[in-house]
């Protein structure tokens, strides 16, 4: 298969490519893009800029097995007391949030997200 060059005033202006060759070229480009994306993700994982999560943790979040704040806190291996100290509130205040008896302010929600290394919207359903 050959591509056919189209010229205007002696200069190439376009090319006609058989569809089979075109499809092969597109597939090759897509494979290269996938490989590049996989390499970038791998580099972000190695550098710590990207994180993966265990299946069980993700399923607990999806199935809403508990308050997301409690799930994230436990996943990060923190006690109520440790997290409370880190964000500057009482253990009781966090317990009330985890039990659905209180809603954190935006300011506290941001502090919790930073402490738990997650997005603010990860901490509520």
Question: Region 49-74: what's the mean pLDDT?
Answer: 96
Looking at every residue in the chain, the average pLDDT score rounds to 95
Percent of the chain with pLDDT over 70: 99
pTM to 2 decimal places: 0.70
Helix (H, G, I), strand (E, B) or coil at 54: coil
Using CA atoms, how far apart are residues 73 and 34, in angstroms rounded to an integer?
A: 34
Mean pLDDT of 77-102: 97
d(CA 76, CA 71): 9
Give the pLDDT score at 2: 81
Q: Which pLDDT value is given to residue 38?
A: 96
Place of tokens 């799930």: 71
pLDDT at site 1: 61
């Amino acid at each position: 298969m050959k591509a056919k060059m189209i010229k205007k005033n002696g200069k190439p202006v376009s090319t006609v490519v058989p569809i089979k060759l075109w499809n092969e070229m597109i597939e090759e480009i897509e494979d290269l893009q996938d490989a590049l994306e996989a390499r970038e993700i791998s580099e972000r994982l190695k550098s710590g800029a990207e994180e993966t999560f265990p299946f069980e943790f993700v399923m607990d979040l999806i199935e809403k097995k508990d308050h997301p704040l409690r799930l994230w806190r436990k996943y990060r291996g923190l006690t109520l007391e440790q997290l409370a100290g880190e964000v500057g509130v009482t253990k009781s205040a966090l317990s009330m949030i985890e039990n659905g008896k209180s809603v954190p302010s935006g300011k506290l929600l941001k502090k919790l997200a930073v402490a738990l290394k997650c997005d603010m919207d990860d901490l509520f359903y």
